[in-house]
Chains A and B, each alone.
Chain A
């Protein structure tokens, strides 16, 4: 593991089911994550993925790559273009820094309308 290493991309089909299942699994009942009509009333063209689901997917992306022994220490994300049903989000990652057994990874998730998420994950991979 070296700075500059790229993590293979992970493609996430953004289905209506994923958006609703992620919202409910995170106990987030904000209407914009399950009710298209209410989402439109608030200026959005459709429901959109909640931040907790994005957070979970970013965490999964890192542990899928580094394996079950990897320990997430920090996940910091910022959302941009929303994930609406029918889109696809492609997560990509680059190792920014390695300090002993701990790596900092820059993660970007791009969808059809722009950058959905940018973030930094700190992960420890015990030797």
Chain B
């Protein structure tokens, strides 16, 4: 526990250091690498498939959504970034949050940009978030706001948010072991079920007191309370009673998207397992399915359900 606390306090200290950059300039008196110009506008329109006539001809304006492009350093490395912003990004890089992805862009256009306009801009670090858990990995959101001027006159503002993150899924080394599915938890109440699966039999418990079938396996009967039971083997026929399609989060050894069904067996009890053999987006309630046993590795066999074409 004391280790956890030490990590927590270290993290709080790190976050305080990051927060200290809020309000500091991110770029100072940056100048556009080129004035607003027709060739860059045309390249943009070609890439976007934008045929708006407002962007061509003698009275052409630049596509407003192109605003940020006029401030980009490109490959010139002539960045207007301040030392403060470099330090902030450096702190995040050094702590393993070295990957970046843009998440939000808010632009307001006050007046159109036209070929010949000379661009200048200033940018401020508006906010640094606390540590967030994201699908890409843990990281910090950094928000900047940029004022863009044309010929010294404010032409637009641009708020931009990036996520600096530590990639959760680094590529596996080629000799890394394959991820394996989780092992079932076998105990004395369900051992008979897993022994059946090993023989490719799906066994349903039957109360010998009142005859009620039950699944999953339990020590006693929910209907009459009797602890006495035997088993019947499922025929393997069933229908999809309900289902979900898993997109997120991804788990090791599972490749989303995939469909997980609540299968109603012909005997009347229900079981949760993968629906296989049909595309995940074609699984439907009421779809007939048939039991099959699938081997996932040298020790794991699971009952799954094959969709049956209607």
Q: Which residues of A contact B (CB under 8 A)?
A: 12, 18, 21-22, 24-30, 32, 40-43, 50-53, 55-60, 63-64, 68-69, 71-79, 113-114
Whether A72 and B44, one on each chain, are in contact in the complex, defined by CB atoms closer than 8 angstroms, is no
Minimal beta-carbon separation of B166 from chain A (angstroms): 9
Partner of B72, one of A26, A53, A76: A26
The chain B residue with its CB closest to the CB of A58 is B65
Minimal beta-carbon separation of B288 from chain A (angstroms): 27
**Which chain B residues border A53 with CB–CB below 8 Å?**
47-48
Whether B50 and A60, one on each chain, are in contact in the complex, defined by CB atoms closer than 8 angstroms, is yes
Minimal beta-carbon separation of A106 from chain B (angstroms): 14
Whether A29 and B171, one on each chain, are in contact in the complex, defined by CB atoms closer than 8 angstroms, is no
Size of chain B's interface in residues, with CB distance under 8 A? 44
Whether A55 and B107, one on each chain, are in contact in the complex, defined by CB atoms closer than 8 angstroms, is yes
Q: Which residues of B contact A (CB under 8 A)?
A: 33, 40, 43-44, 46-50, 52-54, 63-66, 68-69, 72-75, 99-109, 112, 136-137, 167-171, 247-248, 257
Q: Interface on chain B toward A: helix, strand, loop, or mixed SS?
A: mixed
The chain A residue with its CB closest to the CB of B159 is A76
**Which chain B residues border A57 with CB–CB below 8 Å?**
48
On whether A56 and B48 interact (CB within 8 A), knowing A40-B171, A51-B102, A76-B106, the answer reads yes
Partner of A75, one of B33, B99, B107: B107
Minimal beta-carbon separation of B180 from chain A (angstroms): 21
On whether A60 and B54 interact (CB within 8 A), knowing A26-B72, A55-B105, the answer reads no
